[in-house]
Amino acid sequence: MMGGIYLWHSVNITNTLLNSWVVIPLFATSLIAMTLIFERLWFWQRISKRQRQLARTVLETYPQQSQTVRALLKKNTDLPLARIFLAAITLPDATPEEFRLALESAAQGEMPLLQRFATAFNTIVGIAPLLGLLGTILGLVQALSSLDLGRAGGNSSLEVIAGIGEALFTTALGLVIAITTLVFANYFQSRYRRQRAFIQEAGGQLELLYRRYLRQTMGPARDRPRINHPPYPYP
């Protein structure tokens, strides 16, 4: 008996979802969220360890083996850090300040890639609960419109109660989508902050090596006084 009632409610919920147009954008939103989440997981898994290994190798061999470093960076141009380093290292006859400016500009240009889809995640977190609430409101309107006040307490009232429960399902679905997306969005934001700090640290160490190299090869006259700039990339 209970199994039959549960099956009946499950069928009614499925029919309600299929008959409601709100379920279409909800499922589309969930599909988009899943696609973006998997893309970001693949992206961070791909670059995190490789960038740290690349930075360690470059800082250990530059500038004594500058040609080897350039070749290594060109082989890894799919990494943001490699493109940042190349922008400064390939700058001909750069002064220390020009070298720093090249690092800053390249790092600033890579920040949108590290924060990719952040706006989309925020939009999904905001819109999914609203779509679920809209589906619930439409379901309640439909359920209450079928209420027969002349037969209160009869089958009509039971159908309305069942319809209200089914209508609330869209709100639950929207909240599940929003909460899941929010968790991953915060995780990706923390990865971005750590990666930005790492790029700042690695860039500063590369600049220091370049200044020491100029001081050793061309004397202190070439190493112009340093102007204090805010750390890159700019927030």
Q: What does the alpha-carbon distance between residue 132 and residue 142 come to, in Å, rounded to a whole number?
A: 15
Comparing 180 with 9, the larger pLDDT belongs to 180
Q: What are the structural domain ranges in the chain?
A: 22-140+174-218
In the numeric block, the tokens 């439409």 are attached to 138
* Confidence grade of residue 216 (pLDDT, cut at 50, 70, 90): confident
Question: Count of CB atoms within 10 A of residue 64's CB?
Answer: 10
When mean pLDDT is compared across 3-7, 60-64, 70-74, 166-170, the lowest value belongs to 3-7
| Encoded tokens for 182 | 């929010």
CB 160 within 8 A of CB 169: no
Q: Tell me the mean pLDDT in the region 209-229.
A: 66
Which three-class secondary structure state does DSSP give residue 148?
coil
Q: What does the alpha-carbon distance between residue 104 and residue 84 come to, in Å, rounded to a whole number?
A: 8
Quote the pTM value: 0.76
**Exposed, middle or buried: residue 234 (CB in 10 Å: 0-12, 13-18, 19+)?**
exposed
Percent residues over pLDDT 90 in the chain: 55
Question: Looking at residue 74, what is its pLDDT?
Answer: 93
Residue 12 has pLDDT above 50, yes or no: yes
First to last CA, the chain: 62
Question: Looking at residue 221, what is its pLDDT?
Answer: 46
Question: Count of CB atoms within 10 A of residue 172's CB?
Answer: 11
Closest of 84, 98, 113 to residue 201, by C-alpha: 84
DSSP label of 13:
H
Q: Tell me the mean pLDDT in the region 67-80.
A: 93
Residue 134 has pLDDT above 60, yes or no: yes
DSSP label of 151:
G
Question: Looking at residue 149, what is its pLDDT?
Answer: 55
Amino acid making up residue 134: L
Amino acid making up residue 215: R
Residue 169 has pLDDT above 80, yes or no: yes
